[in-house]
Amino acid sequence: MKRWIVYLKKKWNIKSNFQFFLIFVVFGLTGSFSLKVAKPILYFFGFNREIFNDFVLGDIFYWSLRLIIIFPIYQLLLLFFGFIFFQFSFFWKLEKKILIKIGLGRFFSSTKKNN
């Protein structure tokens, strides 16, 4: 087995190759689906690419806005597809790490009890 597979299995505490495969399927489906969903959501809120053509650096602003909208959609879809493929606990742990890193860790209660 390649070193990067062994490294990821150890880092993510994955027990089998099948679980590793399912996790990558979830990542692939989530990425593809979030990109497909982003454009209709932007159109729903009235943001289409033509609006930004009049601005200086309009394309950069449009793609920045699109990425900002895709990020939370991706996070929710990751949990959804993780649930569908029975990998919810893995992706929930991953989500908590991401949310803590971006400063939203205060929403998760600490498991340590003060005696």
Percent of the chain with pLDDT over 90: 39
The CA-atom distances, in angstroms, between 6 and each of 28, 48, 113 are 20, 43, 35
| Strand, helix or coil for residue 95 | helix
Number of H helices and number of E strands within the chain? Answer: 4, 0
Q: How many CB atoms lie within 10 A of CB 65?
A: 15
Confidence of residue 85 (pLDDT cuts 50, 70, 90): very high
| Strand, helix or coil for residue 47 | coil
Please write the tens of the pLDDT for every residue from 30-69.
Answer: 999 988 888 888 888 888 778 777 777 888 888 888 888 8
Mean pLDDT, range 87-109, rounded to an integer: 85
Percent of the chain with pLDDT over 70: 92
> Which residue ranges make up each domain of the chain?
17-107
Question: Exposed e or buried b for every residue in 28-37, given b needs 16+ CB within 10 A?
Answer: ebbeebbeee
Q: What is the pLDDT of residue 106?
A: 74
Q: What is the pLDDT of residue 1?
A: 60
